[in-house]
Protein backbone atom coordinates (compact mmCIF):
# COMPACT_ATOMS: atom_id res chain seq x y z
CA UNK A 1 0.00 0.00 0.00
CA UNK A 2 1.35 3.42 -0.93
CA UNK A 3 2.56 5.49 1.97
CA UNK A 4 0.48 8.62 2.45
CA UNK A 5 2.33 11.89 2.52
CA UNK A 6 1.79 14.02 5.62
CA UNK A 7 -0.95 16.60 5.40
CA UNK A 8 0.19 20.14 4.87
CA UNK A 9 -1.36 22.95 6.83
CA UNK A 10 -3.88 25.08 5.06
CA UNK A 11 -2.14 27.93 3.26
CA UNK A 12 -4.51 30.38 4.91
CA UNK A 13 -3.56 29.21 8.42
CA UNK A 14 -0.28 30.59 9.79
CA UNK A 15 2.10 28.05 11.25
CA UNK A 16 2.88 28.42 14.95
CA UNK A 17 6.37 27.95 16.27
CA UNK A 18 6.99 26.41 19.71
CA UNK A 19 6.91 29.79 21.43
CA UNK A 20 3.58 30.74 19.88
CA UNK A 21 2.12 27.32 20.71
CA UNK A 22 3.16 27.62 24.36
CA UNK A 23 1.69 31.10 24.56
CA UNK A 24 -1.57 29.84 23.06
CA UNK A 25 -1.70 27.00 25.56
CA UNK A 26 -1.14 29.43 28.44
CA UNK A 27 -3.92 31.63 27.14
CA UNK A 28 -6.31 28.67 27.02
CA UNK A 29 -5.30 27.76 30.59
CA UNK A 30 -5.98 31.30 31.78
CA UNK A 31 -9.35 31.41 30.00
CA UNK A 32 -10.41 28.12 31.59
CA UNK A 33 -12.79 28.91 34.45
CA UNK A 34 -11.75 27.71 37.92
CA UNK A 35 -13.63 24.87 39.55
CA UNK A 36 -17.02 26.00 40.84
CA UNK A 37 -16.73 26.61 44.59
CA UNK A 38 -20.39 27.44 45.12
CA UNK A 39 -21.33 23.93 46.27
CA UNK A 40 -18.48 23.69 48.77
CA UNK A 41 -19.31 27.11 50.21
CA UNK A 42 -22.95 26.13 50.65
CA UNK A 43 -22.29 22.81 52.39
CA UNK A 44 -19.24 24.15 54.31
CA UNK A 45 -17.14 21.13 53.41
CA UNK A 46 -13.91 21.14 51.38
CA UNK A 47 -12.08 18.60 49.22
CA UNK A 48 -8.56 17.87 50.43
CA UNK A 49 -5.60 16.19 48.73
CA UNK A 50 -2.98 14.48 50.90
CA UNK A 51 0.26 12.89 49.72
CA UNK A 52 1.72 10.15 51.94
CA UNK A 53 4.58 7.68 51.38
CA UNK A 54 2.09 5.13 50.06
CA UNK A 55 0.51 7.50 47.54
CA UNK A 56 -1.75 10.49 47.06
CA UNK A 57 -5.46 10.55 47.78
CA UNK A 58 -8.53 12.75 48.03
CA UNK A 59 -10.77 13.15 51.05
CA UNK A 60 -13.08 15.75 52.63
CA UNK A 61 -12.75 18.04 55.64
CA UNK A 62 -15.15 20.28 57.51
CA UNK A 63 -14.97 22.50 60.58
CA UNK A 64 -17.83 22.64 63.07
CA UNK A 65 -18.33 23.55 66.76
CA UNK A 66 -17.06 20.69 68.91
CA UNK A 67 -20.38 20.38 70.76
CA UNK A 68 -22.16 19.54 67.48
CA UNK A 69 -19.95 16.59 66.54
CA UNK A 70 -19.69 12.97 67.56
CA UNK A 71 -16.02 11.91 67.40
CA UNK A 72 -15.02 8.93 65.31
CA UNK A 73 -15.18 5.60 67.13
CA UNK A 74 -11.64 4.21 67.50
CA UNK A 75 -12.49 1.17 69.64
CA UNK A 76 -12.35 -1.30 66.76
CA UNK A 77 -9.21 0.28 65.27
CA UNK A 78 -7.22 0.13 68.48
CA UNK A 79 -8.46 -3.36 69.27
CA UNK A 80 -7.24 -4.60 65.89
CA UNK A 81 -3.81 -3.07 66.44
CA UNK A 82 -2.82 -3.20 70.13
CA UNK A 83 0.70 -1.98 69.33
CA UNK A 84 -0.53 1.19 67.64
CA UNK A 85 0.68 3.46 70.43
CA UNK A 86 4.21 2.02 70.37
CA UNK A 87 5.22 1.52 66.76
CA UNK A 88 3.96 1.53 63.20
CA UNK A 89 5.22 -0.17 60.07
CA UNK A 90 4.68 1.90 56.92
CA UNK A 91 4.84 0.44 53.42
CA UNK A 92 6.43 2.96 51.04
CA UNK A 93 6.08 3.04 47.28
CA UNK A 94 9.33 1.04 47.01
CA UNK A 95 7.91 -1.62 49.39
CA UNK A 96 10.49 -0.54 51.96
CA UNK A 97 9.55 -1.10 55.59
CA UNK A 98 10.12 1.83 57.94
CA UNK A 99 9.72 0.99 61.63
CA UNK A 100 8.63 3.96 63.68
CA UNK A 101 9.79 3.92 67.31
CA UNK A 102 8.41 6.58 69.63
CA UNK A 103 11.26 5.88 72.07
CA UNK A 104 13.86 7.23 69.62
CA UNK A 105 12.15 10.58 69.32
CA UNK A 106 11.45 10.76 73.04
CA UNK A 107 15.11 10.16 73.87
CA UNK A 108 16.36 12.86 71.51
CA UNK A 109 13.73 15.31 72.68
CA UNK A 110 14.69 14.67 76.29
CA UNK A 111 18.31 15.52 75.55
CA UNK A 112 17.31 18.82 73.95
CA UNK A 113 14.92 19.70 76.77
CA UNK A 114 17.35 19.20 79.67
CA UNK A 115 18.18 22.89 79.78
CA UNK A 116 14.52 23.78 80.32
CA UNK A 117 13.97 21.51 83.34
CA UNK A 118 14.89 24.18 85.89
CA UNK A 119 12.41 26.65 84.38
CA UNK A 120 9.68 24.01 84.39
CA UNK A 121 10.37 23.19 88.04
CA UNK A 122 9.97 26.84 89.00
CA UNK A 123 6.70 27.07 87.11
CA UNK A 124 5.35 23.98 88.86
CA UNK A 125 6.37 25.35 92.24
CA UNK A 126 4.63 28.62 91.47
CA UNK A 127 1.43 26.81 90.63
CA UNK A 128 1.62 24.70 93.79
CA UNK A 129 1.91 27.86 95.93
CA UNK A 130 -1.18 29.50 94.47
CA UNK A 131 -3.63 30.86 97.05
CA UNK A 132 -7.16 29.50 97.61
CA UNK A 133 -8.56 32.64 96.02
CA UNK A 134 -6.47 32.10 92.91
CA UNK A 135 -7.59 28.47 92.77
CA UNK A 136 -11.24 29.55 92.94
CA UNK A 137 -10.63 31.98 90.10
CA UNK A 138 -8.97 29.19 88.15
CA UNK A 139 -12.05 26.98 88.65
CA UNK A 140 -14.26 29.73 87.24
CA UNK A 141 -11.91 30.17 84.33
CA UNK A 142 -11.93 26.43 83.70
CA UNK A 143 -15.73 26.47 83.52
CA UNK A 144 -15.62 29.31 81.01
CA UNK A 145 -12.93 27.51 79.04
CA UNK A 146 -15.16 24.41 78.78
CA UNK A 147 -17.97 26.51 77.34
CA UNK A 148 -15.61 28.13 74.88
CA UNK A 149 -14.18 24.73 73.94
CA UNK A 150 -17.66 23.54 73.04
CA UNK A 151 -18.09 26.50 70.69
CA UNK A 152 -14.62 26.16 69.16
CA UNK A 153 -14.64 24.87 65.60
CA UNK A 154 -12.76 21.59 65.23
CA UNK A 155 -11.87 19.50 62.18
CA UNK A 156 -13.82 16.50 60.94
CA UNK A 157 -12.69 14.38 57.99
CA UNK A 158 -14.21 11.67 55.84
CA UNK A 159 -13.49 8.95 58.38
CA UNK A 160 -15.05 5.73 59.62
CA UNK A 161 -14.25 3.81 62.79
CA UNK A 162 -11.07 5.73 63.43
CA UNK A 163 -9.65 5.47 59.91
CA UNK A 164 -9.15 8.19 57.31
CA UNK A 165 -10.76 7.33 53.98
CA UNK A 166 -8.47 8.33 51.10
CA UNK A 167 -9.52 7.91 47.46
CA UNK A 168 -7.06 7.70 44.59
CA UNK A 169 -9.42 9.34 42.08
CA UNK A 170 -12.19 11.95 42.25
CA UNK A 171 -14.54 9.42 40.63
CA UNK A 172 -14.07 6.85 43.37
CA UNK A 173 -14.60 9.51 46.05
CA UNK A 174 -17.86 10.66 44.45
CA UNK A 175 -19.04 7.06 44.02
CA UNK A 176 -18.48 6.41 47.72
CA UNK A 177 -20.32 9.56 48.78
CA UNK A 178 -23.30 8.73 46.58
CA UNK A 179 -23.41 5.15 47.83
CA UNK A 180 -24.67 6.14 51.26
CA UNK A 181 -21.91 4.15 52.97
CA UNK A 182 -21.45 4.99 56.67
CA UNK A 183 -18.92 7.66 57.56
CA UNK A 184 -18.43 10.35 60.19
CA UNK A 185 -19.19 13.30 57.89
CA UNK A 186 -22.72 12.00 57.31
CA UNK A 187 -23.71 13.50 60.69
CA UNK A 188 -23.51 16.98 59.14
CA UNK A 189 -26.80 18.58 58.15
CA UNK A 190 -25.40 19.47 54.72
CA UNK A 191 -24.24 15.94 53.87
CA UNK A 192 -27.35 14.89 51.95
CA UNK A 193 -27.21 17.97 49.76
CA UNK A 194 -23.55 17.27 48.95
CA UNK A 195 -24.22 13.63 48.08
CA UNK A 196 -27.02 14.63 45.70
CA UNK A 197 -25.15 17.38 43.84
CA UNK A 198 -21.50 16.34 43.86
CA UNK A 199 -19.74 15.56 40.56
CA UNK A 200 -16.15 14.36 39.95
CA UNK A 201 -15.25 17.73 38.43
CA UNK A 202 -16.00 19.36 41.80
CA UNK A 203 -13.14 17.45 43.45
CA UNK A 204 -10.54 20.15 42.83
CA UNK A 205 -8.81 21.05 46.12
CA UNK A 206 -7.48 24.57 46.54
CA UNK A 207 -3.74 25.04 46.90
CA UNK A 208 -4.15 25.61 50.63
CA UNK A 209 -6.00 22.28 50.90
CA UNK A 210 -3.21 20.29 49.23
CA UNK A 211 -0.61 18.75 51.54
CA UNK A 212 2.62 16.87 50.83
CA UNK A 213 3.38 14.87 53.95
CA UNK A 214 5.48 12.50 51.89
CA UNK A 215 8.15 15.19 51.42
CA UNK A 216 8.48 16.41 55.00
CA UNK A 217 11.01 13.95 56.43
CA UNK A 218 13.35 14.14 53.45
CA UNK A 219 13.20 17.93 53.49
CA UNK A 220 14.10 18.08 57.17
CA UNK A 221 16.99 15.69 56.64
CA UNK A 222 18.44 18.11 54.10
CA UNK A 223 19.47 20.50 56.87
CA UNK A 224 18.41 23.98 57.93
CA UNK A 225 19.35 25.70 54.68
CA UNK A 226 17.20 23.29 52.64
CA UNK A 227 14.06 23.49 54.79
CA UNK A 228 10.94 24.43 52.85
CA UNK A 229 9.08 26.67 55.30
CA UNK A 230 5.73 26.60 53.53
CA UNK A 231 5.81 22.81 53.16
CA UNK A 232 6.60 22.29 56.84
CA UNK A 233 4.06 24.82 58.14
CA UNK A 234 1.28 23.29 56.05
CA UNK A 235 2.30 19.81 57.19
CA UNK A 236 1.90 20.93 60.79
CA UNK A 237 -1.58 22.25 60.09
CA UNK A 238 -2.90 19.08 58.46
CA UNK A 239 -1.17 16.81 61.00
CA UNK A 240 -2.85 18.62 63.89
CA UNK A 241 -6.23 18.43 62.18
CA UNK A 242 -5.84 14.73 61.40
CA UNK A 243 -4.56 13.92 64.89
CA UNK A 244 -7.59 15.60 66.43
CA UNK A 245 -10.15 14.10 64.06
CA UNK A 246 -8.63 10.60 64.14
CA UNK A 247 -8.03 10.71 67.89
CA UNK A 248 -4.27 10.16 67.81
CA UNK A 249 -3.14 11.42 71.24
CA UNK A 250 0.52 10.55 70.63
CA UNK A 251 0.62 12.84 67.59
CA UNK A 252 -1.20 15.61 69.42
CA UNK A 253 1.33 15.39 72.23
CA UNK A 254 4.25 15.60 69.80
CA UNK A 255 2.79 18.77 68.29
CA UNK A 256 1.47 20.30 71.52
CA UNK A 257 2.55 23.69 72.82
CA UNK A 258 6.06 23.60 74.23
CA UNK A 259 7.14 20.50 72.31
CA UNK A 260 10.22 20.59 70.12
CA UNK A 261 8.12 20.24 66.97
CA UNK A 262 5.86 23.08 68.10
CA UNK A 263 8.98 25.20 68.64
CA UNK A 264 9.99 24.32 65.08
CA UNK A 265 6.57 25.38 63.80
CA UNK A 266 6.66 28.71 65.64
CA UNK A 267 10.17 29.44 64.42
CA UNK A 268 9.18 28.65 60.84
CA UNK A 269 6.18 30.97 61.04
CA UNK A 270 8.26 33.76 62.56
CA UNK A 271 11.02 33.37 59.98
CA UNK A 272 8.70 33.97 57.03
CA UNK A 273 7.79 37.37 58.43
CA UNK A 274 9.95 40.38 57.85
CA UNK A 275 11.62 42.63 60.36
CA UNK A 276 12.95 41.69 63.77
CA UNK A 277 10.50 38.82 64.18
CA UNK A 278 11.73 37.15 61.02
CA UNK A 279 15.35 37.59 62.07
CA UNK A 280 14.71 36.06 65.49
CA UNK A 281 12.76 33.22 63.90
CA UNK A 282 15.66 32.34 61.63
CA UNK A 283 18.02 32.35 64.61
CA UNK A 284 15.71 30.00 66.50
CA UNK A 285 15.57 27.63 63.53
CA UNK A 286 19.34 27.18 63.58
CA UNK A 287 19.14 25.97 67.17
CA UNK A 288 16.63 23.21 66.35
CA UNK A 289 18.16 19.79 65.76
CA UNK A 290 17.52 18.51 62.26
CA UNK A 291 17.81 14.91 63.43
CA UNK A 292 15.20 15.31 66.14
CA UNK A 293 12.84 17.17 63.79
CA UNK A 294 13.11 14.57 61.01
CA UNK A 295 12.71 11.65 63.42
CA UNK A 296 9.70 13.26 65.05
CA UNK A 297 8.03 13.88 61.72
CA UNK A 298 8.84 10.35 60.57
CA UNK A 299 6.89 9.13 63.59
CA UNK A 300 3.96 11.45 62.86
CA UNK A 301 3.72 10.49 59.19
CA UNK A 302 3.96 6.83 60.19
CA UNK A 303 1.14 7.07 62.71
CA UNK A 304 -1.14 8.89 60.27
CA UNK A 305 -0.32 6.45 57.46
CA UNK A 306 -1.15 3.52 59.73
CA UNK A 307 -4.78 4.64 60.15
CA UNK A 308 -5.49 5.36 56.48
CA UNK A 309 -8.04 3.22 54.62
CA UNK A 310 -7.07 3.48 50.94
CA UNK A 311 -9.92 3.27 48.44
CA UNK A 312 -9.52 2.90 44.66
Number of domains in the chain: 1
Does residue 165 sit within a domain?
A: yes
Q: How confident is the model at residue 143, as a pLDDT? A: 57
Does residue 206 sit within a domain?
A: yes
N- to C-terminal Cα distance for the chain? 46
Q: How confident is the model at residue 23, as a pLDDT? A: 53
Of the candidates 167, 220, 156, 183, the residue with the CA atom closest to the CA atom of residue 50: 167
Cα–Cα distance for residue pair 88/304, rounded to 1 Å: 9
Q: How confident is the model at residue 276, as a pLDDT? A: 64
Tens digits of per-residue pLDDT, 237-284?
999 999 999 999 999 999 999 898 999 999 898 887 766 676 677 778
Does residue 276 sit within a domain?
A: yes
Does residue 15 sit within a domain?
A: no
- In order along its 312 residues, the chain shows pLDDT tens digits of 444 444 444 444 444 454 555 555 455 444 444 567 999 999 999 999 999 999 999 999 999 999 999 999 999 998 876 554 444 444 444 444 444 445 555 665 565 555 555 545 555 555 555 555 555 555 555 556 556 667 899 999 999 999 999 999 999 999 999 999 999 999 999 999 999 999 999 999 999 999 999 999 999 999 888 999 999 999 999 999 999 999 999 999 999 998 989 999 998 988 877 666 766 777 788 888 888 899 999 999 999 999 999 998
Does residue 131 sit within a domain?
A: no
Tens digits of per-residue pLDDT, 205-245?
999 999 999 999 999 999 888 999 999 999 999 999 999 99
Q: How confident is the model at residue 99, as a pLDDT? A: 42
Task: Supply the mean pLDDT for the chain.
Answer: 79
Does residue 288 sit within a domain?
A: yes
Does residue 21 sit within a domain?
A: no
Per the structure, the complete domain to which residue 77 belongs is given by 38-117+148-311
Does residue 14 sit within a domain?
A: no
Amino acid sequence: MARQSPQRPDADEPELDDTDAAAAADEVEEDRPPADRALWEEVRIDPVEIALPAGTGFTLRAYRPARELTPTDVAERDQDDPFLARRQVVETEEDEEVVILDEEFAALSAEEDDEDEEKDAKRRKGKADASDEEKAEDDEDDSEDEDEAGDEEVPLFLTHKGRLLLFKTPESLVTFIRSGAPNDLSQLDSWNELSERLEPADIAPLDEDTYELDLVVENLRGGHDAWDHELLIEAGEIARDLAYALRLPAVLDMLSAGSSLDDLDEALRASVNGGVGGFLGRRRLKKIGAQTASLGWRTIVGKISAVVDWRD
